[in-house]
């Protein structure tokens, strides 16, 4: 089925869905301006300060202006990203509750802005063991995605595998999806994190194996966003360090292979690297990457 969509898209000459994480400095609507400036057709934003628990209250006029600009831009969707403090696996009940409320608030803001969903890290069990951590994560997600909660998409991001973080591979992620039955739960694949955990994305066989694993354990229809990051650190380093497209250990050839894989077509690719903030340099970089799409 994915290949059918790929072939149809090629017939209609549809563009690659490519964007970056953009700043909301000066007003949340400015994020749309910045994305347009460098030629994005999707993007990612924070809807509140990523290093604090206090949610940002967006004024009605700012939200309306954002939605108007976003609609007029005719982009292929966009997503938000949760704060960095989220820990759904924490042994501390208070921290889990703060994380749950933060995600609920962010999902509501995401819905008000007309975005497609919210990407979040999962958290750390902090030495209590994977089984215990996964139980806490599932219980937390069931609260967040309950029927009486906001009906927005939540995308779980894989980790680089450091310490006691949950979600380092798709066997762990699959256990979450097996327990939490929600149409609003999806996956954000970070290519740097996957490589840093140990998936051999520098080879075609390694990429095919990863995609097959996601399909078998979760379902490719649940893969909704890809963070298209190269890695500053080598395979299985377990160190989360993003690098510019094609300039890291995954490498240019492999990154081009990723954006052209038929099973990943029509999934938004979002880069989170410094070169892409704004201006002509950012636009040139985006244009070069789009030129690699076949």
Q: Catalytic one among 125, 193, 224, 257?
A: 193
What's 269's DSSP letter? E
HSE (side-chain half, CA atoms, 13 Å) at 76:
19
Beta-bridge partners for 231: 242
Predicted local distance difference test score (pLDDT) of residue 150? 66
Q: Catalytic one among 13, 51, 131, 148?
A: 51
DSSP tally for the chain: helices H, then strands E: 10, 10
Chain CA centroid to CA 82, Å = 10
Nearest to 192, CA basis, from 117, 123, 269, 125: 269
Q: Report residues of the chain scoring pLDDT below 50.
A: 1-13
Tell me if 113 sits within 8 A of 80, measured CB to CB.
Answer: yes
Q: Catalytic one among 96, 175, 227, 257?
A: 227
The tokens 């704004």 sit on which residue? 278
Instruction: Tell me, yes or no, if 21 is annotated catalytic.
Output: no
Tell me if 124 sits within 8 A of 161, measured CB to CB.
Answer: no
- Per-position b or e across 192-202, b if 16+ CB within 10 A of its CB: bbbbbbbbbbb
CATH for 2-291 (3.20.20.150, 2.160.10.10, 3.30.70.140, 3.30.420.40):
3.20.20.150
Q: Catalytic one among 34, 81, 136, 257?
A: 81
Tell me if 154 sits within 8 A of 184, measured CB to CB.
Answer: yes
Q: Catalytic one among 125, 224, 242, 257?
A: 242
Nearest to 196, CA basis, from 165, 241, 164: 241
Q: Which SS3 state, helix, strand or coil, does residue 74 take?
A: coil
Instruction: Tell me, yes or no, if 272 is annotated catalytic.
Output: yes
Instruction: Tell me, yes or no, if 240 is annotated catalytic.
Output: yes
Instruction: Tell me, yes or no, if 125 is annotated catalytic.
Output: no
Instruction: Tell me, yes or no, if 261 is annotated catalytic.
Output: no
Beta-bridge partners for 230: 243
Instruction: Tell me, yes or no, if 13 is annotated catalytic.
Output: no
pTM of the model: 0.93
Tell me if 187 sits within 8 A of 155, measured CB to CB.
Answer: yes
Predicted local distance difference test score (pLDDT) of residue 145? 94
Task: Return d(Cα 263, Cα 185) in angstroms, integer.
Answer: 20
**Opening angle at CA 253, ends 248 and 256, nearest 5:** 100
Instruction: Tell me, yes or no, if 193 is annotated catalytic.
Output: yes
Q: Determine if residue 21 is left, alpha or beta; phi over 0 gives left, psi from -120 to 50 gives alpha, anything else beta.
A: beta
Instruction: Tell me, yes or no, if 121 is annotated catalytic.
Output: yes
Q: Catalytic one among 157, 196, 230, 243?
A: 157
Tell me if 198 sits within 8 A of 236, measured CB to CB.
Answer: yes
Q: Catalytic one among 121, 125, 136, 175?
A: 121
- Extract the tokens encoding 263: 């099973």
Q: Which residue ranges make up each domain of the chain?
A: 2-291
Q: Catalytic one among 172, 230, 240, 263?
A: 240
Task: Return d(Cα 197, Cα 200) in angstroms, integer.
Answer: 9
Predicted local distance difference test score (pLDDT) of residue 13? 44
Q: Catalytic one among 116, 190, 196, 243?
A: 190
Task: Return d(Cα 268, Cα 291) in angstroms, integer.
Answer: 16
């Amino acid at each position: 089925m994915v290949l059918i969509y790929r072939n149809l898209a090629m017939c209609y000459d549809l563009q690659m869905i490519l964007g970056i994480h953009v700043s909301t400095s000066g007003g949340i609507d400015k994020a749309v301006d910045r994305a347009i400036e460098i030629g994005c057709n999707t993007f990612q934003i924070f809807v509140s300060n990523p290093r604090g628990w206090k949610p940002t209250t967006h004024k009605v006029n700012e939200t309306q202006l954002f939605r108007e600009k976003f609609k007029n831009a005719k982009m292929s969707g966009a997503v938000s990203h949760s704060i960095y403090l989220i820990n759904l696996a924490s042994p501390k009940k208070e921290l889990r509750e703060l994380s749950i409320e933060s995600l609920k608030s962010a999902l509501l803001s995401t819905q008000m802005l007309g975005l497609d969903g919210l990407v979040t890290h999962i958290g750390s069990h902090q030495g209590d063991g994977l089984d215990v951590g996964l139980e806490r994560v599932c219980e937390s997600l069931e609260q967040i995605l309950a029927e009486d909660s906001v009906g927005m998409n939540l995308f779980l991001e894989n980790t680089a595998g450091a310490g006691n973080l949950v979600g380092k591979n798709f066997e762990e992620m699959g256990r979450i999806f097996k327990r939490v039955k929600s149409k609003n739960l999806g996956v954000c694949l970070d290519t740097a994190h996957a490589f840093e955990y140990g998936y051999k994305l520098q080879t075609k066989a390694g990429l095919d194996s990863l995609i097959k694993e996601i399909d078998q354990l979760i379902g490719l229809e649940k893969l909704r966003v890809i963070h298209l990051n190269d890695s500053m650190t080598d395979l299985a380093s377990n160190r989360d360090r993003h690098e510019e497209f094609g300039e890291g250990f995954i490498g240019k050839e492999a990154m081009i292979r990723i954006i052209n894989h038929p099973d990943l077509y029509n999934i938004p690719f979002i880069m989170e690297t410094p070169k892409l903030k704004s201006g002509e340099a950012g636009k040139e970089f985006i244009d070069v990457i789009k030129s690699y799409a076949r």
